[in-house]
A and B are shown apart, each in its own frame.
Chain A
Amino acid sequence: MTAVLLDSLIWWCGIALELLVLFRGLQKRLVARYPFFYVYTASVLFFSIPLYFLYFGRSASYPVWYWAQQFITLVTGYGVLLEIFRHVLSAWPGAERIARTVGMSAFVLVLTFSVFYPLIISKWSTAETIIEFERDLRTVQAVLLLAILGTISYYGLPIGRNMRGMIIGYGLYIGASLSALAIRSHAGPSSYLAWYRIQPLSFNIAALIWVITLWRYEPNPQPSARTRFEMDYESLAAKTRSMVGAMRSYLVRSARP
C-alpha cells in the first residue's frame, strides 16, 4: 500500500513539474527560444498521464505504452543535446568543431562496442534486448554529453543560467537512467524496484532544476566582437607550439647539470 502511494506521489509530482516547466516556457516565450527542449518535455508529459492510469489500472497494454514512451523520449531527448550545441557551442566555431569530432568519435566507438560486445559474450537473452538497447542509447547520450561538457570546460566557454540548468537536469537524468539500466541488465528482475524508482525520481529532480533555472529567459553569453582578432588559426597554433617548445627548453636547461 505504501509502495503504491509512493509511486503515485512520484508520478504526480513529475506531472506537476512537467506542466510547470511547459507553462513557464509558454508564458515567458521560452518555447520559441528552446523548441527542441520543449518538444522533449511535451513528449514526456504526453505519455505520463495515460501511463499513470494504465499502470495503476494494471492494464495489459502498459508495457507497450511504456516502451513507446521510452523510445520516443529517447529520440526527442537528443533535442536537448541539440539545444546545447545551438546555444552554447555554435558561438564558438573552434570549440564546436572539437566537441563534434570528439562526440562523433565516441558515438562510433560506443555503437561498435554495443554491437560487438553481445556477439562475443556467451550469455545472450533476447528478453533483455529492449533494456540493453535503451541502456546503449543512454550510453551514447552520456558520451555525447561528456564530450560537450569536456569541451565547455577545456575552452572555458561561458554558460548562462538557462543552459546550465538544462544540461545539469538532463545530465542527472541520463546518468541515473544509465546506472539503473545497467544494474537492471546485469542483475535481472531482482533489481526491478530500484530500476522503476530511480528513473522517475531522477526525472523529477531534473524537472525541478528546469523549473528553477528556466523560470525566466537568460540568454547564453555571446563572444564579444572585440575578441575576434584578425589572425588565422594555423599561425596561432604554430606560435603557441613554438612558445611551448621554448619554455620546455628553458625548463630542461634549468635541470641540466
Chain B
Amino acid sequence: MIQLALFLSLAALLFLALIVLAARSPRAEGGAQALVEARQALSHLQAELLPSDLVARVFAREDLEYVLAQPSHRAHEMFLAERKKIAILWVRGIRRQVINLTRFHLGAARHYSSLSFRIEAALALDFAFLLFVCRALQVLIHIRGPYSAFGMVDATASAATRISSISEQALAFMNPAQMSAVSGPTGSSGGALGMRS
C-alpha cells in the first residue's frame, strides 16, 4: 500500500509540474532587461530601504514611549496604526527586493557551467528562509503591532557596517559599462520598488 501511494504521489507531482509548465507565460523570463531591473532594485534597496537610520526610525521605541506618555488615547491608537502601516510596507518592500535578488541570481547563475550544486542548494534555502522571515514579520506586525516582534530571532552582528561593505561589493555585480550595454536605449525605465506597494 505504501508503495502504491508513493508511485501515485509521484504521478500526481508530475501532473502538477506539467500544469505549472502549461500555465507558464511563454515570454523569455530573466532576460537582460530583467537582470538590469533587478540590479537597479538592489540599488534602491541599499539606498532607500536598508539604511540603518531608517530601520531604527521605523521601529524606534522612543517614539512609542513618547506617544504613550501623552494623555490622549486616540493619539496612541493613531500612532500605532500609522506605524504599523509603515512597518508592514517596509517589510513588504524588503520581501520584494529579496524576490528580485533571487531572480537576479538565478538569471545570472544559469549561464555558468562551473555552478555548484551545494552552493545553489544553500542559496535556495537562504532565499526561502528570508522570504519566510519576511512573511512571518508581516503577519506578526499585522496581528500584534510594530513593536511586538520581540525575540523572534536573536540579534546578529552589526548590520550597518556589514551592509555598507556588502553594498560596495554588490555594485561589482555589473559595472556601469555592462549595465548600459545590456539595458540599451530603453534600459532606463528603472525597477524602482521603494516603499510603494
Mark B residues whose CB is within 8 Å of A.
1, 3-4, 7-8, 10-15, 17-18, 20-22, 24, 26-32, 35, 42, 50, 55, 58-59, 61, 87, 90-91, 94, 97-98, 101, 103-117, 119-120, 122-124, 126-127, 129-130, 133-134, 137, 140, 149-157, 159, 162-163, 166, 169-170, 172-174, 178, 181-182
Contact = CB atoms under 8 A, between A and B. Distances in A.
Interface of A: 92-98, 101-102, 117, 135, 139, 142-143, 145-146, 149-150, 152-161, 164, 167-168, 171-172, 174-176, 178-179, 181-183, 185-186, 221, 223-224, 226-237, 239-257
Nearest to A257: B150
26 contacts: A93-B110, A93-B112, A93-B113, A93-B115, A135-B7, A155-B110, A161-B26, A164-B26, A168-B22, A185-B4, A227-B31, A229-B174, A231-B174, A233-B114, A237-B119, A239-B173, A240-B101, A240-B105, A243-B42, A243-B101, A244-B127, A248-B126, A252-B153, A252-B154, A254-B87, A254-B90
Contacts of A155: 30, 106, 109-110
Contacts of B4: 182-183, 185-186
B18 A168 contact: yes
Given A97-B113, A168-B21, A233-B115, A244 B123 contact: yes
Contact of B166 (A153, A186, A224, A246): A246
Given A102-B117, A161-B26, A239-B170, 9 more contacts: A149-B14, A155-B109, A158-B26, A178-B7, A232-B114, A237-B120, A249-B163, A253-B55, A257-B61
B153 A229 contact: no
Contact of B162 (A146, A178, A249): A249
A171 to B, nearest CB: 5
Which of B14, B27, B28 neighbours the largest number of chain A CB atoms within 10 Å of its CB?
Answer: B14
A175 B162 contact: no
B113 A149 contact: no
A157 B103 CA distance: 11
Contacts of B3: 117, 182, 186
A97 B117 CA distance: 8
Contacts of A159: 21, 24, 26
A149 B127 contact: no
Contacts of B182: 226-227, 229
A92 B110 CA distance: 5
Given A161-B26, A229-B174, A251-B94, A237 B159 contact: no
A98 B169 contact: no
Which of A93, A150, A240 neighbours the largest number of chain B CB atoms within 10 Å of its CB?
Answer: A240
B154 A246 contact: no
A251 B58 CA distance: 12
Nearest to A249: B159
Contacts of B114: 232-234
A250 B55 contact: yes
Contacts of A224: 31-32
B156 A249 contact: yes
B35 A239 contact: no
B29 A227 contact: no
Contact of B111 (A92, A135, A249): A92
Contacts of B134: 251
